Structure 1
Amino acid sequence: MAMIQRFYDPKSGSVLIGQSARPLTELNIRWWRKQVGFVGQEPILFDASVLDNVLYGLEDGETASADHLEKCKKMANLNFIDNHKAQGWETQVGPRGARLSGGQKQRVAICRALVRNPPILLLDEATSALDSQSERLVQRALEAAKQDRTSIAIAHRLSTIEDCDVILVVSEGQIAEAGTHAQLMERKGVYYKLQKGKKEN
């Protein structure tokens, strides 16, 4: 994830982008980071309103229309800001998002990533810290967010990646298997064993 965002470059090999397989190091780093949205395991929220936190995803001078914000809100499943105790977009999140649950914080982070409409979405253990009910809500938001864009997810919870086009199974620092959920289950290798272990627990 850090290499895709170019926080550092690989010591050997290269990260290739797009159909032309252009090395990432050839692209303007400021432009590239505008193409990428990121949602991590522990989102960083500021002691301000939900709207302020969402708009932190924009560059200086950029704005988002009310229609676009509404679309992002729907995709991110931010309906909790409309309940009778909340104040809509002006709902205060508290220091480090302390007034929100884990699932609510993640959905604000998803909305912040979407507001720029990035063509690439990176999801780093985006549901791992949540209980099962919150995970379902966040997972629905992520499914909507992934539409019409390239998304790359790191996950230990297998339920979050079963619908992915390509699943890479990493074991001891190496890619052990690659394929769809059905292909990997048929192969009865590492992924299959992980799935079987999950069902038995």
Structure 2
Amino acid sequence: RLDEVVTEQEEPTYAPFVLDQVPSFETNALTFTFPDAPRPVLRDVTVSIPAGKKTAIVGASGSGKSTLLQLMLRMYPTDGLTIAGQDSQTVDPEGLWQHANVVLQQNHYFYGTLRDNLLLANEAATDEAMRQALDDVGLTTFELSDRVFEKGENLSGGEKQRLAIARVLLREASLYLLDEPTSSVDALTEQMILKRLFARATDATLVLVSHRLAGLEAMDQIIVMDQGQVIEVGTYAELMTRQGAFYELKQVEQSVFAPIG
């Protein structure tokens, strides 16, 4: 009708997100469906990610592990999630990201030097600190003056991942949310990088999404997902002793990467 008043949807308002401690995450029967999707991608997920602990979320592709991480980052609104004891829907996403070191499957790079792209993480970083960060992720032959193209088009998948992690190493944070950060690097480089990350995040909350199961012995807990649900939770030793879903995934991984001959 012509006499109807059309009002624009108001932007949500958030209370200031003041994080004076290392954050925790709790989900309670969380079910989530993407807009316009026919069915939920997460169903009845209840997990606890304690403050200052190291948690891995593992499972096959499509199991919902990356979606759960995205909800922790407030990329989509949802019920059933608290962040640092606060209802996630009242948490300002910008404030949360300011406290977090994040590595996603797609990371932002712009045309400029390697130095320019590293300074995105910490504009006060010295050349010495940036050089050390590159060495720590195995980019030892790169120079800070090297050119990076838009979207990192002149870098390989592994180089882009290592550059993203080098940025993380340059910035103090109380929260690390990492989605398949080393999926495109070899196993030895992966273990070196994870060791550096864990040392950097000693007192922080760290959540690692991974389809690889190697190197998870150091995690405080492992959450195993399948078809949008949590099917196991425990330490590496507990899950291997239980010989359930995680154990079976581990046996498959070992058989795939077993040496030939």
Query: Into which bin does the TM-score normalised by the smaller protein fall?
Result: 0.7 to 0.9
CA offsets 1:80-103 (integer angstroms, 9 cap, x no match): 31xxxxxx2111123432333322
Residues 153 and 161, structure 1, Cα contact 8 Å, conserved in 2: no
Q: Whole-Å Cα distance in 2 between the matches of residues 180 and 96 of structure 1?
A: 37
Structure 2 residue aligned with 1:6: 74
SS in 2 for 1:159: coil
- The normalised TM-score by structure 1 is 0.79
Residues 54 and 112, structure 1, Cα contact 8 Å, conserved in 2: yes
Q: Whole-Å Cα distance in 1 between the matches of residues 70 and 215 of structure 2?
A: 21
Q: What stretches of structure 2 of length at least 5 have no aligned partner? A: 1-68, 257-261
Deviation at 1:163, TM superposition (A): 2.7
CA offsets 1:86-136 (integer angstroms, 9 cap, x no match): xx21111234323333222111111223333222111111222x253xx43
Residues 6 and 29, structure 1, Cα contact 8 Å, conserved in 2: yes
Deviation at 1:189, TM superposition (A): 0.4
Q: 2:194 aligns with which of 142, 146, 158?
A: 142
Distance 1:72 1:131, change over 3 A: closer
Q: 1:63 aligns with which of 124, 133, 156?
A: 124
Residues 110 and 142, structure 1, Cα contact 8 Å, conserved in 2: no
Q: 2:160 aligns with which of 80, 105, 110?
A: 105
Q: Identify the structure with the greater helix proportion.
A: 1
Q: Identify the structure with the greater strand proportion.
A: 2
Residues 162 and 182, structure 2, Cα contact 8 Å, conserved in 1: no
Q: Which amino acid is 1:105 matched to?
A: K
Q: Whole-Å Cα distance in 2 between the matches of residues 65 and 15 of structure 1?
A: 37
Deviation at 1:155, TM superposition (A): 1.0
Matches within 5 A, 1:86-105: 88-105=143-160
Q: Whole-Å Cα distance in 2 between the matches of residues 15 and 63 of structure 1?
A: 33
Question: Do residues 15 (structure 1) and 82 (structure 2) align?
Answer: yes
Q: Which has the higher contact order (CA 8 A, sep 6+)?
A: 2
Deviation at 1:180, TM superposition (A): 1.0
Q: 1:73 aligns with which of 122, 134, 154?
A: 134
